[in-house]
A and B are shown apart, each in its own frame.
Chain A
Amino acid sequence: MAVPSLLPYTIVIGLLLGIYYAFMALGLNLVFGVVRMINLSHGDIVMLGSYMAYYFLIYYSIKVGLSFVIAFPIFFLLGVLIYFAFVPKLESSNDPEMNSFTAFFGLSLAIEAISFLIFGNYYHALPDNALLGGSFVLLGFRTPKIYLAISALSAAILAITYLYLNKTMLGKATKALMQNKEQAISFGINPRWVTLITFAYGFGVAGMAGAIGPYILGTIYPSMGDFITIIAFTIVIIGALGNPLSTIIGGLVFGVFYEFLQVYMSGLSLAITFFALLAIVVIRPGGILGGVQREV
């Protein structure tokens, strides 16, 4: 019997997971696109989504598929609250981009601390059969079916977001605002309203990504968010900051790249990921697909 080759399998799994990674990072890029602020609490929102799915399953026997849907309105509302608490005040400060960075880090610390206090210092996991159990053979390797389910759900939300941004009036207004704020306003777009909706939508999809996240991102733990935020940022910057759809490319590239590192250089995979992020930020701060933004 021939030994199956690891290389094609790594690529296929990388692409499958890449779709999820793109979906997971989407919220961060939507938020950045409208308010020009890096939401450093993004990973913690994802973490809260994971806890929601876990407790819904344990206490109310709600399957992960349903939690995935319920997550959207809940986290959308949370997004609205956070918007009003932070954005207007930050926008009127002397350096909104820098100050929002610190303020959202503070929010991240606070959410993480509250999660430790409420959920406790324990590791949890979601069982596969709460979404889709079983396994199948892919290119000679036994693979959990759950990967297919995750990719399908992620692809669905990415497709909906694509249609929303390109086919609806509100979506088109959002894109216009992201591309050129002054011009969009002069064409009669109400920036407050569009910004609020998109900001909250970003939180909504982050919560959804959290609900199915534990299958890909590992165990549910209150401090899982820090790492998620920074890989989400890496994915966004591989695409282009402020352009939500380029995140899909970012996710796929990251998925394959990260899978490769884990298979072939597991000891250095994280160090290399972060140095690659550093290199991209220095060479092309707007993202690989984005324009170059620099200051003297």
Chain B
Amino acid sequence: MKFEKNYISALLISIVMIALAFGGPEIYSNKAFFFNLIIITIVALGLNLIYGLTGYLPFGYMVFFGMGAYGVYIGMRIGLAPWEAFAFGFVLNLIVALVLLPLFRLKSHYFAIATLAAFEGMYYLIQSPDLSKYTNGALGASLVTIYNPNLTYIISIIFLVFVIFLTAFIKSSRFGLSLRAIKDSVISAYLDGVNVPVTRGLAWIISALIASIAGTLYGWYSSFFYPETVFTLTLGVYIIAFVLFGGLGTILGPIIGTAILYSIYQYFSISYTYYVQLFFGILLIILILFLPGGIAQVIRKYIKKNMP
């Protein structure tokens, strides 16, 4: 029952997203906006997997986004062929995710700050003049030689659909059930025979790779980026707000949250940067203090009240 429900909603959401991705630019001719929306939705779903299903919030989650973009660039810079550079970036991110695995031994808030430190460390490493031989430092990275926006756009849509179905699959599988058991109580999950480190670790690696592929696609599509455009803590935190707003741990929640809030962000952030920041700051406080379930919680309450 639950199994079918997740797949049906994944299918419906995918159809809507594909329609939006192809139809949207016909109505509002800013294709980059729709591309960014797709990419940020992917990141939000990736964050949702680890935060929603394990309760662990990686504050520096965007480290993978940044490394995804820079992985390919570093690969190209050391003289690899394009497809080798993509593989190089993928493996590099896999290594970073594996190196950070011991963080799960920590309590949740230490985990949050440790990922934040990893994020800041990586950012300063990438933009350091000492490594500019590989990263071009703060001057920015260029991928013009492999620039191909139409192909990137289509790959991004395919990847988004993949991530939506992956979320549905994880939620309805035994793996997802184990994750939820761990979230409720590590000890009782362990006693029920769940292999806690492997289950959590797998969720972490999947989630990290989703963000890194999103980063790679973003870097590829924009073809030129600075360290601070891809290592963006502020956007990373806004994405936490997107996920919380829509409803943590659901499939539809992060997508709706991103669609609404990212549009607001994109529309106002150029002229009203600080008002947008103030809005998101207050929104985060309100969500945490009063509405931990996001709008999904409000809707559920409303339905319960009006449909006995």
Contacts and interface: CB of A to CB of B under 8 A. Distances in A.
Given A110-B285, A275-B117, A295-B105, A101 B55 contact: no
A233 B113 contact: yes
Contacts of A226: 233
Chain B's interface: helix, strand, loop or mixed, by majority?
Answer: helix
B292 to A, nearest CB: 7
B107 A295 contact: yes
B130 interface: yes
A102 interface: yes
B228 to A, nearest CB: 12
B120 A282 contact: no
B288 to A, nearest CB: 4
Interface in A78-134: 86, 89-90, 93-95, 97-103, 105-114, 116-117
B125 A271 contact: yes
A103 B289 contact: yes
A8 interface: no
A101 B186 contact: no
B57 A102 contact: yes
Nearest to A237: B113
Contacts of A189: none
A113 B277 contact: yes
Contacts of A103: 284-285, 288-289
Interface residues of A, number: 47
Contact of A101 (B112, B124, B233, B283): B112
A5 B287 CA distance: 55
Contacts of A274: 117-118, 120-121, 124
A296 interface: yes
Contact of B289 (A86, A94, A112, A296): A86
B289 to A, nearest CB: 5
**Looking at B187, B190, B284, which has the most chain A CB atoms within 10 Å of its CB?**
B284
Most buried by B among A233, A278, A294, A296: A278
A278 B278 contact: no
Contacts of A149: none
A270 B57 CA distance: 24
B23 interface: no
A83 to B, nearest CB: 14
B25 interface: no
Contacts of B292: 93-94, 99
A56 to B, nearest CB: 24
Contacts of B124: 268, 270-271, 274
Given A268-B128, A278-B117, A282-B114, A109 B284 contact: yes
Given A109-B237, A270-B120, A278-B118, A101 B285 contact: no
Given A102-B288, A108-B281, A282-B102, A113 B57 contact: no
Contacts of B59: 101, 105
A98 B117 contact: no
A230 interface: yes
30 contacts: A90-B288, A95-B108, A97-B107, A97-B109, A100-B109, A103-B289, A109-B237, A109-B278, A109-B280, A109-B284, A110-B281, A110-B282, A112-B277, A113-B275, A116-B274, A230-B116, A230-B117, A230-B120, A265-B130, A268-B125, A270-B121, A272-B121, A274-B118, A274-B121, A275-B118, A278-B114, A282-B102, A293-B107, A294-B106, A296-B187
Interface of B: 55, 57, 59, 102-103, 105-110, 112-114, 116-118, 120-122, 124-125, 128-130, 186-187, 190, 196, 233-234, 237, 240, 244, 273-275, 277-278, 280-285, 288-290, 292
Identify the 7 closest CB pairs spanning chains A and B, nearest first.
A106-B284, A110-B281, A109-B281, A274-B121, A113-B278, A113-B277, A267-B130
